[in-house]
Structure 1
Amino acid sequence: MPVVPASIPPVASLTQGVWLKGDWHMHSRHSTDSTNNPQAKIIGFAEKLGFDYLAITDHDVHVFGDVANNTWSDPEFRSRTVLLFYGAELTAARGHINILSSVPYDHQRVFDARDARDWDLLSLKRELGVHFSANHPSTKNHYGYSFDLADSIEVWNTCVWPKNVPGVRIWDDMLKSGRMLGARGGSDSHHGVPDTPELTTPLSVEATANYVGTPTTWIFATARTREALLEGLVKGRASVSANPYNPRVEFYADLDQDGRMDMMMGDNARPTGGPVTFEVRLVGGGIGGVSYKITVVKNRDLFGSFATDPDTGTVRFTDTPESDARNYYRVEVEGPQTPYPEVPYSMAQSGNMIGLSNPIYFNYDPSF
């Protein structure tokens, strides 16, 4: 049985923050396998739809490691309303990592070290002050580095939900092992949606159904800044929706049964030994009057399935986490897709998967 940590930091505020939506994984024309995707088009699309942040992460191997002199030196890399991250996709023999930063950094050093031992990469990551996010962990270009290097993991890559199921299992394995690993989505869009989608039916999913927000990652950040967004992602105060018009998934827990929620997804606490009431809220968007299916996963296993109230978009359930053991709970949401008229073909690829939450943790060691 896992050893209960000696101390657990207090839970941060559940009210002093702001929900921000965006996309953590996109490619512009500076990736040589991309087409129809200038940064002005990507950013303009995001601005029009009210996105809060974007990470344009071009393949460094395609621009020979020199992403700083391509992606973020491009005059089109600017926005008055969208927070733009400095980043690139490290593309190496052992797989792909999204490097994310709130400020410009020397990506050439990361590129040159792409085949180094993991402890050398960890040292470099700390020196540069950048975020390492494990990309699409179950695809042919899967993340093949140690998960001790990763600050977050991409559990939903592109609009095609079924291909992500093995990656979610890998994430569950990491959570079960004691890691508190924040999860995110990323459209991994390479080509941009054509301006005349009605003419593109015979074309590939990549060229017609995958663009900004397929999926959308929501972060509960302490402020509307890049630094706060990365902090929220690391902590797992985040959820993923198939598209920006679907409801945002929020997941809370009432530790002491006083009727007030004490924790949200990403939080970690010591249980009292008594029952805990959990609440799932589907906020904004969605289809009115629909009862969504909520699947609860506890410690990698199915805990139960519940239905949201069609009027309030909420549901509650109760369980008693052991006081001398480690436990986590997370939720997945299924139901009809809310139309995404700007990227209409994405809906069929996502099937019934509407969204998922990060876990709520009990007795996890934050230093692990």
Structure 2
Amino acid sequence: MIPPIPDALPPLAGIGGGIWLKGDWHLHSRHSTDSTNNPQSKIIGFAERMGFDYLAITDHDVHVGGAVAQHTWADPEFRSDQVLLFYGAELTAARGHINILSAEPYDHQRMFDARDDRDWNILKVKHALGVHMSANHPSTKNHYGYSFDLADSVEIWNGCVWPKNVPGVRIWDDMLKSGRMLGARGGSDSHHGVPDTPDRIVPQSVEASANYVGTPTTWIYAAARTKRAILRALEQGKASISANPYNPRVEFYADLDGDGVVDMMMGDNAKPSGRPVTFEVRLVGGGIAGANYAVRVIKNRDPFASLITDATTRSVQFTDTPGIGERNYYRVEIEGPQAPYPEVPNSMAQSLNMIALSNPLYFNYDPGF
């Protein structure tokens, strides 16, 4: 089990209390026809041993067509006393894939029946069911092809192979630039159980040998350790993503008035005052001892700054002045040496030097857009 990582450095005045929780939003068990060697007992047992807090097992529409007695949620293996298990499924349709996520069971048949409707009709069903809709892998062959007005979050890091996700991050940046406050998450999209001998490098496909629970890992800063609080935080963008659970968690904050106290974190939106804002990037837990990590700051879709974290504090600051009356967002990407993931050893090489991503800090955005 991974040693627990402490919560954010206190005090975070102006942000309020919360707890950091880690998990995986996109997994497939044996109930998906394209999955092998992956019963729910294996997935959940692995997550429990690794100290994960939550999971979403999102099989492909197996909750429909009268399959009530044999779908994901009805399986006796769908249980845990340690990990919060979301009720979810991957809506699989001609226009792409959407992860439907809920704290409680919902009528997936109704969502499935509406999958090819016009977007505004799907939106009505979404509201009626009270579910969270997350746009899956927006740049792959099964890309999300619905309006982003339907999406409560977007999957920008799918699986352990980092290069395939770069186009999806660009799509996300386009959505942010357009004025949307769209929370981002990761998801392993694991379909196959990794070999039971993790100490061996097995010459199999990446999907079967390098992609499993936590590749990547999504960290959520939730108000409480409940499923509803986690979904709310995901929608708000109070989250960051690491290539694996042994890598550091990136936290991104801002001090608006220069008093040395943090006022904003990822997902927050502030009205610019015309004064300089001090931004701080922190790497918490995990990682390689003594390593310096590269921080790439993105502002409004474009590179803004390249920084290096201090090896001791594992943090770095920068300053900028968001313009009054201007809409701006800032986010960060972290590169450096990969922390080994002994339980899924093949994943390390696939992620290259991409360590973590943050959600944005927003200035002058319209939350209603």
- For this structure pair, what is the TM-score category when the shorter chain's length is used for normalisation? over 0.9
Please give the residue correspondences for 1:284-295 in structure 2 after superposition, counting only pairs within 5 Å. Answer: 284-295=285-296
Please give the residue correspondences for 1:100-179 in structure 2 after superposition, counting only pairs within 5 Å. Answer: 100-179=101-180
Corresponding residue of 2:185: 184
Q: Note the C-alpha offset of 1:192.
A: 1.1
Please give the residue correspondences for 1:202-281 in structure 2 after superposition, counting only pairs within 5 Å. Answer: 202-281=203-282
Q: Note the C-alpha offset of 1:200.
A: 5.7
Distance in 1, matches of 2:53 and 2:225, equals 8
Distance in 1, matches of 2:133 and 2:40, equals 23
Corresponding residue of 2:351: 350
Distance in 1, matches of 2:13 and 2:144, equals 31
Distance in 2, matches of 1:155 and 1:13, equals 28
Distance in 2, matches of 1:360 and 1:151, equals 17
* SS of match in other structure, 1:220: strand
Say whether the 8 Å CA contact 2:61–2:90 is kept in structure 1: yes
Corresponding residue of 2:76: 75
Question: C-alpha offsets along residues 178-222 of structure 1, whole Å, 9 cap, x if unaligned?
Answer: 000000000000001010245563210000000000000000000
Q: Note the C-alpha offset of 1:272.
A: 1.0
Q: Note the C-alpha offset of 1:331.
A: 0.1
Q: Note the C-alpha offset of 1:13.
A: 5.0
Number of equivalences: 358
Distance in 1, matches of 2:200 and 2:51, equals 26
Question: C-alpha offsets along residues 113-140 of structure 1, whole Å, 9 cap, x if unaligned?
Answer: 1100000000000000000000000000
Corresponding residue of 1:306: 307
Gaps of 5+ in 2: 1-11
Question: C-alpha offsets along residues 44-63 of structure 1, whole Å, 9 cap, x if unaligned?
Answer: 00000000000000011697
Distance in 2, matches of 1:200 and 1:63, equals 38
Please give the residue correspondences for 1:46-57 in structure 2 after superposition, counting only pairs within 5 Å. Answer: 46-57=47-58
Cα 1:242–1:67, aligned 2, differ >3 Å: closer, same or farther?
farther
Distance in 2, matches of 1:67 and 1:344, equals 37
Amino acid aligned to 1:345: N
Distance in 2, matches of 1:288 and 1:258, equals 31
Question: C-alpha offsets along residues 147-168 of structure 1, whole Å, 9 cap, x if unaligned?
Answer: 0000000000000000000000
Distance in 2, matches of 1:51 and 1:343, equals 15
Corresponding residue of 2:94: 93
Amino acid aligned to 2:32: S
Say whether the 8 Å CA contact 2:295–2:306 is kept in structure 1: yes
Say whether the 8 Å CA contact 2:182–2:237 is kept in structure 1: yes
- Are positions 1:84 and 2:85 aligned together? yes
Distance in 1, matches of 2:66 and 2:174, equals 32
Gaps of 5+ in 1: 1-10
* SS of match in other structure, 1:163: helix
Cα 1:41–1:278, aligned 2, differ >3 Å: closer, same or farther?
same
Cα 1:253–1:185, aligned 2, differ >3 Å: closer, same or farther?
same
* SS of match in other structure, 1:230: helix
| TM-score for both structures, normalised by structure 2 | 0.95
* SS of match in other structure, 2:73: coil
Cα 1:245–1:124, aligned 2, differ >3 Å: closer, same or farther?
same
* SS of match in other structure, 1:164: helix
Amino acid aligned to 1:208: S
- Are positions 1:339 and 2:350 aligned together? no
Question: C-alpha offsets along residues 280-317 of structure 1, whole Å, 9 cap, x if unaligned?
Answer: 00000011100100000000000010000001110000
* SS of match in other structure, 2:348: helix
Distance in 2, matches of 1:65 and 1:36, equals 25
Question: C-alpha offsets along residues 86-105 of structure 1, whole Å, 9 cap, x if unaligned?
Answer: 00000000000000000000
Distance in 1, matches of 2:64 and 2:141, equals 21
Distance in 1, matches of 2:155 and 2:69, equals 23
CA RMSD of aligned residues (A): 1.5
* SS of match in other structure, 2:74: coil
Q: Note the C-alpha offset of 1:22.
A: 0.1
Corresponding residue of 1:364: 365
* SS of match in other structure, 1:59: coil
Cα 1:364–1:245, aligned 2, differ >3 Å: closer, same or farther?
same
Distance in 1, matches of 2:66 and 2:53, equals 28
Say whether the 8 Å CA contact 1:293–1:335 is kept in structure 2: yes
Say whether the 8 Å CA contact 2:250–2:357 is kept in structure 1: yes
User: Identity percentage over the alignment?
Assistant: 77
* SS of match in other structure, 2:247: coil
Corresponding residue of 1:7: none
Say whether the 8 Å CA contact 2:64–2:109 is kept in structure 1: no
* SS of match in other structure, 2:295: strand
Corresponding residue of 2:4: none
Corresponding residue of 2:8: none
* SS of match in other structure, 1:136: coil
